Chains A and B, each alone.
Chain A
Amino acid sequence: MAGSGNAHLRKGDNVLQIQDLVVEFKVSGGTVKAVSGISLDVQRGETLGIVGESGCGKSTTGRAIMQLPSPTSGSIVFEGDELTSMKNADVRAARTKVQMIFQDPVSSLNPRRTVRDSVLEPLEIWKRGTKKEREKLIDDTLESVGIDPARAAESRPHEFSGGQCQRISVARALVLDPTLIICDEPVSALDVSVQAQVLNLLEDLKEKYGLTLVFIAHDLAVVKNISDRVAVMYLGKLCEVASSDALYAHPAHPYTNLLIDSIPEPNPDADHTLGEVIGEPPSPVNPPAGCRFHPRCPYATAECSVDEPRLREIGAGHFVACHNPVTVTH
């Protein structure tokens, strides 16, 4: 796995198209190859899920879309505009249309400001509307995420729970009327009961505001619930891309199967033992040759350590980068 190729890219109303994205960071002792040539597209109104373990490059991909920092190479086209070659001022303007929410909702809000001021700030920076219009927009947006505007005006982040802070972060992302919201592990720090509230909220807001979402997480059950299409990443490469239902029904990549087997199923009679895949991903400073997953893969052959597999179609809209895909039916 961990292959390259663009066979999975679609024509049509793409809000976002990423092509051959490479993001590398210089560190002492080498270069971290965080993202090594991935391509993705997101159509209007769609939710794309990106799933993988820590260090697979999923968050780096999300940040690269925001040009935080801008990628080493590759192209990111948002609504027809190439973001990577834009001037800084234009990137800033484009970012109003692409918003991001982060994993830790409490630390992504300024602890010394009332949360209402935090939500208001983007509107003031961009001088949107009159004061009265701004006030109304803030009240409406806070209501729509289930936060009492009056309480928001007098309270600071520490007075809210984690789930409420995440709702406030969502409100702040919404006020500039974005086209695309990148959600980077937005529910990983939350209790399951609160996680369900935030996932439902994102679905509701997507409909209400006509949003397109990129949803990044390590838990495939969460990603499947919210996404239309899912991209599985491993060590900077794509493994498998498919509709979320097809991905679960016929996971072809051994790594996708590992992710599925790892989910703790709330059923004592289910199989809770892990398959043959063991260990943790190797360092992205020296990624393995060939398929990057081969050292952990129980199906690896000699070919896998030399020849990097390319994404190929194995079903309608279902792509896998693997020399020896598995046949599993759920």
Chain B
Amino acid sequence: MNEHESFHHPGPSRTETDSPLLALDNLKTHFRTERGLVRAVDGVTLTLNRGEALGVVGESGSGKTVLSRSLMGLLPGSAVTSGSVKFAGQEILDLPMKQRRHLWGAEMSMVFQNPLNSLNPLMKIGKQIAEPLRLHLSMDKANARETAVALLKSVRIPEPERRLNQYPHELSGGMRQRVMIAMALACGPTVLFADEPTTALDVTVQAQILEVIGEQRRDRNMSVVLVTHDLGVVAGHTDQIAVMYGGKLVERAPTKTLFAEMRMPYTKSLLKSIPKLADPSHTRLATITGRPPDLVNPPKGCNFAQRCPYARPKCHVEEPALEPTADPNHVFACWYPVGSPEFTEREAELEAAGYVPATVAGVS
């Protein structure tokens, strides 16, 4: 019996479909550094169902990338992970390395921001795609080659047979990212992590890549975790969104609900900082002043309070917990959320002072 069979993994034949595909419970990833313990991910709880797309949104330093890397086992030795991560009902954090390896290659795969850094520059495209097929699915050479062509075709790469014999530098940035996606899809993963997959690309190519990922998700009934700093990217391509700040979840909701009634001032600020085509030129953009918190010495109270124009004394002392709204799927952590009397009062004061509020009008 090889390691593939010993791991109980979900396939189309799986019966216990009622449990979520991926369940994180109080996941913490801390790094030991000279300065002290960096609390990069500090107690994240969320679930992902089969076929669902989750957007993880936040600024640089919010912990969004460390979160996805923790799940993919791509952490340096200085990392300490605790909590629980269940994949198809099975705890994976304490799984033996051999089984976890199979999981990462075949069941969960990842697409990175910079395709040029993630592809081997000295290896032809065909060989790179065939590698996981031969390793995880024990395909022979001819079979792997045939599958590689089909994969390239499925991510809409023109002339796939010719690409097999090309090197990464011969392809454009968009084509390389498609190759990365083809490689990630090779073993038919049930979860695809895409960490800023389009940030280095042109907007036109970004739109095409997001379409390809969405198409593959529907065709394969695969789950997708899309990590980005841009709420615009996740708006059209996810079912639910988790907003991270300072290593913690600060708001989570179904995508449409989040955009219609976001409660956390940070989420609103992120949204309002995006320039909108429909606004007249020279429209002043809302900004978030200051920088993300120091994760070695996180501030007391709410992580965001120091940068939040709506913060009151309580925010600097007591940390708000994630509380559900009327919709149990919509949770947020804030003492004075968007729409509360205190928030509205402060907004009026700010507007009177000529401040460009981060929350003038929603997107509704």
Contact = CB atoms under 8 A, between A and B. Distances in A.
B98 interface: no
Given A162-B60, A193-B288, A196-B287, A260 B207 contact: no
B277 interface: yes
A266 interface: yes
A192 to B, nearest CB: 5
Contact of A264 (B206, B271, B280, B281): B206
Interface residues of B, number: 48
B235 A270 contact: yes
Nearest to A227: B281
Interface of A: 53-54, 161-162, 191-197, 199-200, 203, 218-222, 224-228, 243-245, 248, 258-270, 272-274, 278-280, 330
B210 to A, nearest CB: 7
Of listed B173, B269, B273, B284, residue having the most chain A CB within 10 A: B273
B163 to A, nearest CB: 14
Given A54-B202, A221-B277, A266 B271 contact: yes
A200 B256 contact: no
Contact of B231 (A194, A219, A258, A266): A266
Q: Which 8 A-B pairs have the closest CB atoms?
A: A272-B236, A264-B232, A196-B285, A196-B273, A225-B275, A244-B281, A262-B207, A266-B232
A193 to B, nearest CB: 5
Contacts of B207: 261-262, 264, 274
Contact of A200 (B211, B235, B285, B291): B285
11 contacts: A192-B229, A196-B275, A218-B203, A219-B203, A224-B275, A224-B281, A225-B283, A226-B282, A244-B281, A262-B203, A267-B363
Given A278-B208, A279-B158, A268 B276 contact: no
Contact of A267 (B210, B233, B259, B286): B259
B232 A193 contact: no
Nearest to A283: B172
Contacts of B274: 192, 196, 221, 266
Given A220-B203, A221-B276, A262-B204, A268 B255 contact: yes
B175 interface: yes
Contacts of A278: 208
Nearest to A267: B363
Nearest to B231: A266
B253 to A, nearest CB: 11
Contact of A193 (B59, B173, B236): B59
Nearest to B269: A193
A191 B203 contact: no
Contacts of B259: 266-268
B105 interface: no
Contacts of B219: none
Given A53-B202, A191-B60, A200-B284, A264 B277 contact: no
B237 A218 contact: no
Interface string B56-81: 00011000000000000000000000
Given A218-B202, A268-B236, A280-B174, A263 B281 contact: no
Nearest to B158: A279
B161 interface: no
A270 B232 CA distance: 11
Nearest to A278: B208
Nearest to B205: A280
Given A161-B291, A261-B207, A264-B206, 8 more contacts: A53-B205, A191-B229, A192-B231, A220-B203, A224-B277, A226-B282, A266-B274, A269-B256
